[in-house]
């Protein structure tokens, strides 16, 4: 060993990977064995060589850095001789063992790089263990698609190149320039899309760039969809398993057991990450051992879910596409995929309205790519179409689309279901749910025809729940008719019998809302108090926010507007904490109307502007919701009159706020300086309603007559009279009548 290494000369520039190189170098300070692991084509060999090159530059190892490629070695018995030859050790031993290697290396200080060890794991483990034990100056860096599992081994997982940090794009552009291709800034979006399609895998990116010598960038991008393995073919000067992307993955597949290959193929039906339960449901049996093996072999990537703190798994898109080639018939796996996520949604529909409501929203968000794919496949498969439709309806029932800002996606799925589901009662429910989604957005031109079509179809008890819901909401939003209240009351009973706690609560929510808008103070007070009490006891954070919101609505419509603001602000705060994309629009509406009532006209104008932006973002419109629109118009008129020509300027300032800025502004308290000066108090400190009732007592009206005059019950009127006498310290109604006559003379 008269030379100090055998690293190959650099023929192309090395792009990115600074963090990986730094972390790999740092690991040598803690271990004499480091293994670079990662999927095929991710660049493990290049990282190993560049790490070695950095060590040479820094003179870290007295006897240099030596690279021994093992990809072409088939016989494990020849491993020791192959390493000896790579180290240029004279080996005339009669037996192919470790003896000569140990003799040559026991007093050397060098870095040995063993490249591509995955097909010789047992032999490499044995060799490395004995070399490290007997050669104190030796450090070993290996590359493998799975760990060696040697004591003292430190793993460094080599990730794909990042697209967001431009590493992948820089690699593509440089390799493309080498072919003579001329790319401009206008091509960068397609370059980024190509790098994302190829998962940032350096081998795939380099092979794709090489294709620009004969194809346009757009053609390469098109061909990658379904033909990437035929397209990505390189020259024959590199390792055999890197000549094509196909060979890179065939190399991995060859070193999997039959069971592992079967599981790899089955997992290719997942469009995104998944958990172990989903994998077992789709494969049809226990997956722990083969799944763990695929993780070790860098075919499957394991991560920890930020939602459940449990392990989730994923296949890079390129890995999944190769796996799909191993699956002769994907029908069984896809059907199991549909069934698993159908059961998941059924559980979510039953369970979301609970103290775990935030968890269920997060779990649905995490599983959404799988849910969407399962529904899509079911709707394209005739005998699964009903299942897919029920899944789409269940997604809507969990309120997840509105919460997550995905109403457009659920609209698309319901529209697709409408094309394939023709028979009631499922079509009745489907039309009703599609109509409700439109109602929730204030899009009555879409909702009404759907509702009318559903009305003509036969019903079942379950579909009756869906249709009555839409009919009641039509009466509420479009006709502003008090007749919606008894219909909502009937619907609550239907939900308790045929539906879920979540459906029941949402119906009670709308019942309370309609009562506040359309009935008298007594009914509104009773409904709001009941809803708030339920929110305090059910432990559902989303429900708590709406309970506070309803208290604010009651005060705005029937009580003291000064009490609304803290309720609305706290409701908004909870909604933002939960990540709710829908509720904040209602809280902005309530705050804008309240500030107009309080005389905080400048603030109200900004909130009105912000609300219009929120409506555009969430694709909803209060203009289609009669009772809401009526109050919003009143607030707008009030603020316009107060601000005059300044109104459009101030409202535009609110509309131009970013989402986070608008919410931060809405959460601010209303300064006293912005409020309308307090109106002079009435005699005795009575409210306007109390002073009116005292006047009716002075006119000789009974409690029954007062109730009829003010549209409240006689009992409520009598309670008000008692409260007034108590406040004024008067013994009876006669004294109250005398007090009012005296007060009105002054």
For residues 315-319, average pLDDT = 85
**265 pLDDT above the threshold of 80:** yes
Q: What is the DSSP-derived secondary structure letter of residue 65?
A: E
Residue 719: what pLDDT? 83
DSSP H or E stretch at residue 301:
strand 301-304
Spatial strand order of the sheet with 154-157 comes to 65-69, 110-115, 138-144, 33-37, 154-157
Residue 224: what pLDDT? 78
**Cα separation, 595 vs 602, whole angstroms:** 9
Residue 105: what pLDDT? 93
**Cα separation, 325 vs 203, whole angstroms:** 20
**Cα separation, 593 vs 552, whole angstroms:** 11
Q: Which two tokens stand for residue 539?
A: 């432990």
**238 pLDDT above the threshold of 70:** no
**Cα separation, 469 vs 473, whole angstroms:** 6
pLDDT in tens, 437-472: 999 989 999 999 999 999 999 888 778 889 999 999
Task: Print the SS3 string covering 122-175.
Answer: HHHHHHHHHHHHHCCCEEEEEEECCCCCCCCCEEEECCCCCCCCCHHHHHHHHH
Task: Print the SS3 string covering 92-114.
Answer: CCCCCCCHHHHHHHCCCCEEEEE
**Cα separation, 667 vs 566, whole angstroms:** 9
For residues 102-120, average pLDDT = 93
**227 pLDDT above the threshold of 70:** no
Q: Which two tokens stand for residue 133?
A: 């034990």
**431 pLDDT above the threshold of 90:** yes
Q: How high does pLDDT run on average in the chain?
A: 89
For residues 333-344, average pLDDT = 97
Q: Provide the CB-side half-sphere exposure for 178 (13 A, CA).
A: 14
CA-based end-to-end distance of the chain: 116
284-293, 408-417, 705-714: the lowest-pLDDT one: 705-714
Residue 516: what pLDDT? 94
For residues 405-433, average pLDDT = 92
Residue 508, classed as helix, strand or coil, is helix
Task: Print the SS3 string covering 373-427.
Answer: HHHHHHHHCHHHHHHHHHHHHHHHHCCHHHHHCCHHHHHHHHHHHHHHCCCCCHH
Q: Supply the pTM of this predicted model.
A: 0.78
**724 pLDDT above the threshold of 80:** yes
* Contact status, residue 62 vs residue 1, Cβ threshold 8 Å: no
Cα dihedral 452, 457, 461, 463 in deg (nearest 10): -60
The CA-based angle 455-460-461, given to 5 degrees, is 110
pLDDT in tens, 61-81: 999 999 999 988 888 988 998
**673 pLDDT above the threshold of 70:** no
pLDDT in tens, 615-643: 887 788 999 999 999 999 999 999 999 99
Segment 176-181 long-range contacts (CB within 8 Å, at least 24 positions apart): 176/209, 176/212, 178/12, 178/209, 179/209, 179/210, 179/212, 179/213, 180/213, 181/209, 181/212, 181/213, 181/217
For residues 16-28, average pLDDT = 90
For residues 358-365, average pLDDT = 94
410 contacts: CB under 8 Å, gap ≥ 6 = 392, 395, 396, 401, 437
**236 pLDDT above the threshold of 50:** no
pLDDT grade for 552, boundaries at 50, 70 and 90: very high
**Cα separation, 594 vs 639, whole angstroms:** 11
Residue 302, classed as helix, strand or coil, is strand
Q: Which two tokens stand for residue 343?
A: 């059961």
Percent helix, strand and coil across the chain, each to the nearest 5: 65, 5, 30
Among residues 541, 588, 542, the alpha carbon closest in space to that of 568 is found at 588
DSSP H or E stretch at residue 34:
strand 33-37
Among residues 138, 119, 109, the alpha carbon closest in space to that of 32 is found at 138
Residue 521, classed as helix, strand or coil, is helix
* Cis bond upstream, residue 375 (ω within 30): no
**Cα separation, 340 vs 711, whole angstroms:** 55
* DSSP track, 309-376: SSEEEE--HHHHHHHHHT-S--HHHHHHHHHHHHHHHHHHHHHSSSTTHHHHHHHHHHHHHHHHHHHH
pLDDT grade for 674, boundaries at 50, 70 and 90: low
Among residues 364, 628, 357, the alpha carbon closest in space to that of 510 is found at 628
**95 pLDDT above the threshold of 80:** no
Looking only at the bridges linking them, the beta strands covering 110-115 and 65-69 are parallel
Looking only at the bridges linking them, the beta strands covering 274-275 and 311-314 are antiparallel
**Cα separation, 288 vs 275, whole angstroms:** 11
**Cα separation, 733 vs 722, whole angstroms:** 9
Token look-up 């069934």 returns 339
Token look-up 């030379």 returns 3
| Residue 25 CB coordination number (10 Å) | 16
* DSSP track, 609-654: HHHHHHHHHHT--GGGSHHHHHHHHHHHHHHHHHHTTHHHHHHHHH
Among residues 435, 484, 483, 441, the alpha carbon closest in space to that of 463 is found at 435
For residues 667-678, average pLDDT = 69
Residue 115, classed as helix, strand or coil, is strand
**Cα separation, 720 vs 469, whole angstroms:** 36
Token look-up 């080599």 returns 158
**Cα separation, 164 vs 186, whole angstroms:** 17
Q: Which two tokens stand for residue 37?
A: 């692991």
Distances (CA, A) of 261 to 143, 244, 609, 728: 22, 20, 58, 86
Spatial strand order of the sheet with 274-275 comes to 274-275, 311-314, 301-304
Between 549 and 15, name the one with better pLDDT.
Answer: 549
pLDDT grade for 96, boundaries at 50, 70 and 90: low
* Contact status, residue 665 vs residue 591, Cβ threshold 8 Å: no
Residue 226: what pLDDT? 67
Among residues 266, 262, 244, the alpha carbon closest in space to that of 253 is found at 262
Q: Provide the CB-side half-sphere exposure for 691 (13 A, CA).
A: 12
């Amino acid at each position: 060993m008269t030379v100090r290494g055998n690293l190959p000369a650099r023929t192309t520039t090395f792009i990115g990977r600074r963090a990986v190189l730094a972390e790999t170098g740092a690991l040598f300070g803690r271990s004499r064995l480091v293994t670079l692991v990662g999927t095929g084509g991710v660049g493990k060999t290049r990282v190993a060589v560049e790490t070695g090159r950095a060590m040479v530059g820094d003179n870290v190892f007295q006897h240099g850095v030596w690279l021994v490629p093992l990809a072409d070695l088939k016989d494990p018995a020849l491993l020791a001789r192959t390493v000896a030859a790579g180290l240029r050790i004279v080996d005339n031993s009669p037996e192919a063992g470790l003896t000569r290697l140990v003799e040559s290396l026991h007093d050397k200080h060098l870095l040995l790089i063993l490249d591509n060890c995955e097909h010789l794991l047992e032999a490499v483990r044995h060799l490395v263990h004995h070399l490290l034990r007997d050669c104190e100056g030796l450090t070993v860096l290996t590359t493998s698609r799975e760990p060696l599992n040697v004591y003292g081994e430190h793993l460094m997982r080599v990730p794909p190149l990042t697209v967001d940090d431009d590493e992948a794009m820089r690699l593509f552009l440089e390799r493309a320039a080498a072919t003579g291709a001329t790319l401009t800034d206008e091509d960068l979006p397609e370059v980024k899309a190509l790098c994302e399609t190829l998962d940032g895998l350096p081998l795939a990116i380099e092979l794709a760039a090489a294709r620009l010598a004969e194809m346009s960038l757009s053609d390469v991008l098109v061909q990658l969809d379904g033909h990437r393995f035929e397209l990505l073919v390189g020259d024959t000067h590199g390792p055999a398993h890197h000549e094509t992307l196909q060979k890179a993955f065939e190399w991995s597949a060859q070193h999997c057991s039959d069971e592992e290959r079967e599981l790899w193929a089955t997992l290719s039906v997942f469009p995104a990450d998944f958990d172990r339960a989903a994998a077992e449901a789709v494969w049809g049996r226990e997956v722990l051992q083969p799944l763990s093996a695929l993780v070790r072999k860098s075919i499957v990537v394991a991560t920890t879910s930020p939602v459940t703190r449990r392990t989730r798994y994923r296949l890079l898109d390129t890995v999944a596409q190769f796996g799909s080639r191993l699956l002769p018939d994907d029908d069984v796996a896809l059907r199991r995929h549909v069934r698993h996520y159908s059961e998941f949604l059924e559980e979510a529909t039953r369970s979301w309205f609970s103290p775990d409501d935030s968890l269920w929203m997060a779990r649905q968000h995490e599983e959404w790519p799988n849910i969407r794919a399962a529904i899509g496949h079911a709707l394209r498969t005739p005998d699964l179409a009903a299942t897919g439709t029920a899944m789409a309806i269940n997604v809507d029932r969990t309120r997840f689309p509105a919460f997550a800002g995905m109403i457009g996606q659920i609209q698309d799925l319901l529209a697709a279901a409408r094309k394939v589901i023709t028979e009631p009662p499922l079509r009745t429910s489907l039309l009703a749910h599609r109509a409700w989604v439109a109602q929730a957005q204030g899009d009555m031109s879409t909702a009404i025809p759907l509702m009318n079509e559903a009305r003509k179809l036969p019903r079942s008890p379950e579909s009756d729940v869906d249709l009555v819901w839409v009919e009641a909401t039509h009466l509420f939003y479009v006709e502003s008719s008090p007749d919606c209240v008894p219909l909502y009351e009937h619907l609550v009973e239907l939900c308790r019998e045929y539906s879920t706690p979540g459906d029941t609560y949402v119906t009670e929510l709308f019942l309370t809302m309609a009562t506040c808008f359309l009935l008298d103070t007594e009914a509104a007070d009773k409904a709001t108090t009941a809803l708030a009490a339920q929110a305090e006891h059910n432990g559902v954070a989303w429900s708590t926010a709406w309970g506070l919101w309803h208290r604010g609505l009651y005060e705005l419509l029937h009580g003291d507007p000064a009490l609304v603001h803290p309720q609305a602000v706290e409701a908004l705060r909870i909604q933002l904490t939960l990540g709710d994309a829908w509720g904040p629009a209602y809280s902005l509406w309530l705050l804008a109307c309240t500030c107009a009532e309080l005389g905080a006209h400048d603030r109200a104008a900004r909130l009105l502007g912000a609300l219009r932006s929120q409506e555009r973002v969430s694709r909803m419109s209060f203009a289609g919701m009669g009772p809401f629109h009526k109050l919003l118009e009143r607030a707008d008129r009030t603020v316009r009159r107060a601000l005059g020509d300044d109104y459009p300027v101030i409202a535009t300032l609110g509309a131009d706020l970013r989402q986070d800025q608008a919410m931060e502004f809405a959460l601010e308290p209303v300064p006293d300086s912005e409020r309308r000066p307090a109106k002079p108090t009435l005699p005795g400190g009575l409210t306007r309603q109390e002073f009116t009732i005292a006047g009716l007592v002075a006119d000789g009206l009974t409690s029954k007559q007062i109730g009829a005059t003010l549209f409240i019950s006689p009992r409520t009127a009598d309670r008000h009279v008692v409260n007034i006498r108590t406040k004024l310290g008067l013994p009876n109604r006669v004294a109250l009548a005398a007090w009012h006559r005296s007060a009105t003379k002054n």
